Structure 1
Amino acid sequence: MDERLNYAPCGYVSITLEGMVAEVNQTFLDMMGYRLEDVVQKHFEAMMSTANKLIFHSYFYPHINLDGHVEELFIRLKNSQGESVPFILNGRKFEREGQERLDCVLVQMGKRIDYEMELRMANKQIEKAYWEKDQALAELQQIHAEIERKQTELMEINAVLLELSNTDKLTGLKNRRFFQEKLEEQLMQYNHNRIPLSLFIIDIDHFKRVNDTWGHGYGDEVLFDVASILKTHAVEGETVARYGGEEFVMILPETDAEKAKAGAERLRRAVQDFSWKTGSMTISIGIITATPDADEAMLLQKADEALYASKQNGRNQVTHYEDLKLQGYSP
């Protein structure tokens, strides 16, 4: 073994797929008070309590076989005095000379943290239950089922959290962060396949007047209703998001300039024809259709210039950036 690895500031243990220790560095031996012959060619689980064996089988092996690696597994190993030593274990599957090995790096924990105490109590309860019952196989199956249930719950919770992190709370639309990530993704696809891609920036006309006259509560209602109209008229594959304040954005894959202008006009009329408490609400829209030289910033800038032209031309307008070029317009 390389001398630097042998005396690295962390433990290193390489085990076979059967769990036998093939290599170990001196740092680990010094941590644990073992000699080389005490560990090599011995089963790695010989240094574990029953509870930690269960953790190792229910977490380490499934994940390293599925993903090829395991990160930050909390585990305890018994030293030569029989004392329990806490470690954080990172592992990776590695093929060496035609043989697969599971290389593990172990960092000893110098401080206890709150959840560690909870795990200790849980481990004691598992160990007590294991020794008190003869039906070890049935109990292990129960534990596996519970782990699978918890993993399913965790994935569902993570999915909900991800959705919340990408959603504007007021309107229920996607938020600016999601929009920017989606625009980058769609532009990459456009640069690859050159299928038309268009972008809208939509602004509610005279929105400040709504807040000043009717109050911010009604202003929020207007934002929600405009968002609902946009979402209702969007087709599958299109992304609708709140960009900020009274501005919204839409990404329209497989949409050329003419199709984009027709779609924007339908949105403009839908908002205009909606039954508003104030009697009238309108939107202005700026459109850009992607070109081979465009990046995200350029698309947004040009769509914003088209929106500005819609505002300057009296609001309640739809303007495509290409039309500005034809007219010789300079925002």
Structure 2
Amino acid sequence: MDVRLNYAPCGYVSITHEGIVADVNQTFLDMMGYRQEDVVQKHFETLMSTANKLMFHSYFYPYINLDGHVEELLIRLKNSRGESVPFILNGRKSEREGREWLDCVLVQVGKRIDYEMELRLANKQIEKAYWEKDQALAELQHIYAEIERKQTELMEINTVLLELSNTDKLTGLKNRRFFQEKLEEELKLYSQTGIPFSLFMLDIDHFKRVNDTWGHAYGDEVLFDVASVLQTHAREGDIVARYGGEEFVMLLSRTKASEAKVCADRIRRAVSDFSWKEDGVTISIGIMTATDALEDNEATLLEQADQALYASKENGRNRVTHYEDLKLQGSPHS
């Protein structure tokens, strides 16, 4: 045998048509741990398991007899230690010296199988990593959705808390703090635009007598009912608030003095005409309208509205007084 073929980087086995090994190179012997006499003149199938013999008969012989060659047949052969060694076999039929020979080249695929197993394992790991990533993304999306839901709930709670912090518990009207904030905003707008606005201070007449005569529970009912009347007869955009005790305030944007008087008198009559369970209840109202002479100070506006309210009380109650009317009559009450 040619030296180069004898030590080629792959196994070489030449067998007869009957399957007897006629020649073998040293590379194959070294790979399998055999001596030449262990293989040559032996039947090639002695190196195979029963399953491989069946495959050899059902695939190798039919195809090489039909096509004259076989390519990439995966076959396992037993080495000298009885271990199964995988090979890729390429075979070709030829004639030499009037005889038919089957020349086979065998490339050991142990490394390849290891690589394939590593690739399969890597693919499984990649698939697992992608699955875990998808799971993590799904969980992250769930967490984000939960965070958004909690944020929405928190915003709703904050809105409710803000509303509660701005609301009088007994009457359901806005409270004094909310009113003062709106009054500051209205004064700022007035200083920028000069658009007038008016302020009402309203007080329930003889409220102490109501409590003393009918009890505080009925007094609370009166406060609630007066608040309802004020809210019902207020115009859209008007601010109605409980200022403290039996005292209420209203803030009317874009309202001149003449308009404020008409609106106040309508509210006064609505309270007086209400169907009270006990003695009739009335209110007194003091009005102040922002003018050019007004200092940029909510305290001044409140003080002057309070003076007008005091005048309504002094003049018989159940009436409306505008601060400007007091100025026409002389110095207002302090």
- TM norm structure 2: 0.59
Name the residue aligned to 1:306.
308
The secondary structure found in structure 2 opposite 1:208 is helix
The CA deviation string for residues 204-247 of structure 1, in whole angstroms up to 9 with x for no partner, is 00000000000000000000000000000111111000000000
Q: Which AA in structure 1 matches 2:234?
A: A
Q: Which AA in structure 1 matches 2:231?
A: K
Q: CA deviation at 1:330?
A: 2.9
Aligned pair count reads 202
Q: CA deviation at 1:279?
A: 3.0
Q: Which AA in structure 1 matches 2:319?
A: Q
Q: Does 1:184 align with 2:184?
A: yes
The secondary structure found in structure 2 opposite 1:248 is strand
Instruction: Give the distance between the partners of 2:132 and 2:317, measured in 1 at CA.
Output: 77
Name the residue aligned to 2:326.
324
Instruction: Give the distance between the partners of 1:140 and 1:222, measured in 2 at CA.
Output: 56
Instruction: Give the distance between the partners of 1:329 and 1:246, measured in 2 at CA.
Output: 27
Instruction: Give the distance between the partners of 2:330 and 2:306, measured in 1 at CA.
Output: 17
Instruction: Give the distance between the partners of 1:215 and 1:316, measured in 2 at CA.
Output: 22
Q: How does 1:70-219 map to 2 (within 5 A)?
A: 133=132, 135-219=135-219
Q: CA deviation at 1:133?
A: 4.9
Q: CA deviation at 1:144?
A: 0.7
Instruction: Give the distance between the partners of 1:133 and 1:150, measured in 2 at CA.
Output: 26
Instruction: Give the distance between the partners of 1:330 and 1:267, measured in 2 at CA.
Output: 24
Instruction: Give the distance between the partners of 2:184 and 2:331, measured in 1 at CA.
Output: 28
Instruction: Give the distance between the partners of 1:330 and 1:259, measured in 2 at CA.
Output: 22
The CA deviation string for residues 245-295 of structure 1, in whole angstroms up to 9 with x for no partner, is 000000000100000000000010000000111231100000000123332
The secondary structure found in structure 2 opposite 1:164 is helix
The CA deviation string for residues 162-206 of structure 1, in whole angstroms up to 9 with x for no partner, is 000000000000000001111001110111111110000000000
The secondary structure found in structure 1 opposite 2:168 is coil
Q: Which AA in structure 1 matches 2:291?
A: T
Name the residue aligned to 2:264.
264
Instruction: Give the distance between the partners of 1:141 and 1:242, measured in 2 at CA.
Output: 47
Q: Which AA in structure 1 matches 2:263?
A: G
Q: CA deviation at 1:320?
A: 0.1
Instruction: Give the distance between the partners of 2:283 and 2:137, measured in 1 at CA.
Output: 66
Larger Rg: 2
The secondary structure found in structure 2 opposite 1:173 is coil
List, as ranges, runs of 4+ consecutive aligned residues in structure 1 with deviation greater than 6 Å. Answer: none
Instruction: Give the distance between the partners of 2:254 and 2:140, measured in 1 at CA.
Output: 53
The secondary structure found in structure 1 opposite 2:252 is strand
Instruction: Give the distance between the partners of 1:278 and 1:261, measured in 2 at CA.
Output: 28
Q: Which AA in structure 2 matches 1:323?
A: D
Q: Which AA in structure 2 matches 1:211?
A: N
Instruction: Give the distance between the partners of 1:329 and 1:139, measured in 2 at CA.
Output: 75
Instruction: Give the distance between the partners of 2:284 and 2:166, measured in 1 at CA.
Output: 25
Instruction: Give the distance between the partners of 2:207 and 2:199, measured in 1 at CA.
Output: 22
Q: CA deviation at 1:298?
A: 0.4
Q: CA deviation at 1:329?
A: 4.1
CA RMSD of aligned residues (A): 1.6
Name the residue aligned to 1:225.
225
Q: Which AA in structure 1 matches 2:139?
A: E
Instruction: Give the distance between the partners of 1:238 and 1:195, measured in 2 at CA.
Output: 15
- Overall identity of the aligned pairs, in %: 74
Instruction: Give the distance between the partners of 2:139 and 2:259, measured in 1 at CA.
Output: 62
- TM norm structure 1: 0.59
The secondary structure found in structure 2 opposite 1:199 is strand
Q: Which AA in structure 2 matches 1:137?
A: L
Instruction: Give the distance between the partners of 1:330 and 1:200, measured in 2 at CA.
Output: 17
The secondary structure found in structure 1 opposite 2:268 is helix
Q: For residues 280 and 329 of structure 1, do their structure 2 counterparts lie closer, same or farther at Cα, with a shift above 3 Å needed?
A: farther
